[in-house]
Structure 1
Amino acid sequence: MALKDDLPATIGTERLTLRTPAMTDLADLVALANNWKVIEPTAVMPYPYGEADGRAFLTALGDPDKPHAYAITNGEDRMMGVVSLKFETGKLPELGYWLGEPHWGRGYAPEAVRGLLQAAAAAGIAEIRARVLESNPASIRVLEKAGFQVIEQTTSIVERHRGKPLLIMAWRAP
């Protein structure tokens, strides 16, 4: 998809740099992602999350069927989490993200999401969707801070969350 290809390689925000994840991020990736509190609200990340999972994620980054992922990094270029846009033919792009637990509660997730949304708007992406469990108020708040609004209440169909209340949220470029 041309719009996916129009996204920049690097996005800067006030405190963060969003960049392509690299094999040098493997140790931080595994250390942060191998945490049930981080993994449980996600739809597809495996648990436990080991080195093989991290390598598989990092080597699949160029796959056109995989989300366009950015490492969320701090001023020392250390990975703190991931923010991504998933592109599927005939569907609006879908936002996904996770942040390592040591970085929670400091405003990094909304800052990273807003940075990606600004870049997406500049690339001509007018609307993005996100799915979030109703039982995850922190993530709902991240999305609301970034300008997402609830457009549908439904139940999850992914195995890990099957039948749980789910919100579909939408963001539209200003």
Structure 2
Amino acid sequence: MTRTLETERLLLRPYRASDAVALAEQIGEFAVSQWLTRVPHPYGEADTLAFFDKVASEAMVYAVCRADEVVGCVSIMGDLGYWYGAKHWGRGYATEAARAVVNAHFAHSDAPIDSGYIAGNEASRNVLKKIGFVSNGSKETPCLSRKANVTINRVILSRDKWESSA
């Protein structure tokens, strides 16, 4: 599988150790981490480096870059997941990068892709809807940053749905 992907505006590439400080600062903002179930708050550079070590061999885990600046992350590790620094919200990066990763997935697999978003995260819901994901129930899950359970609205995307909406 390709280790880098390019879109019109973005480069999706493997993480580098030099990305750790910028990513820790971005994901360390509660405005970001509150929407992620597996990210503690506070979150520091050591947490980022541990994440890099954990995902180093994963083919579908990308740092999302715009003009040499890391703006967030997108991956398919079982589920499609993504996050972006708050200063990069509202620019369409999440949809653009997710489309690239979904396209790469379906170029090599017919397996459907699962994802989800925390109830109340309308921006994430909209990204998934634009790509073609459809509702697949909900579940309660612990959220480390909030130190409480949250409702995750589950969604799924089949290859047929992807191809019909692309």
| Bucket of the pairwise TM-score, normalised by the shorter protein | 0.7 to 0.9
For residues 3-14 of structure 1, the aligned pairs below 5 Å read 7-14=1-8
Picking from 49, 69, 72, the partner of 2:64 is 72
* Greater relative contact order (CA < 8 Å, ≥ 6 in sequence): 2
Counterparts of 1:159 and 1:110, CA distance in 2? 24
Name the SS for the 1:44 alignment partner.
Answer: coil
Select the structure that is richer in helix: 2
TM-score normalised by the chain length of structure 1: 0.83
1:82 is aligned with what amino acid? C
TM-score normalised by the chain length of structure 2: 0.87
Residue 107 (structure 2) aligns with:
122
**Bigger mean CA deviation after superposition, 22-31 or 156-165:** 156-165
Q: Where has structure 1 moved over 6 Å in runs of 4 or more?
A: none
Picking from 142, 149, 152, the partner of 1:166 is 152
Residue 54 (structure 1) aligns with:
48
Is it true that 1:147 corresponds to 2:132 in the alignment? Answer: yes
- Give me the identity figure in percent: 33
Name the SS for the 1:156 alignment partner.
Answer: strand
1:136 Cα deviation after fit: 0.8
How many residues of Structure 1 are paired with residues of Structure 2 in the alignment?
158
Is it true that 1:34 corresponds to 2:20 in the alignment? Answer: no
Gap regions ≥5 residues in structure 1:
1-6, 87-92
RMSD, aligned α-carbons: 1.8
Picking from 17, 23, 38, the partner of 1:23 is 17
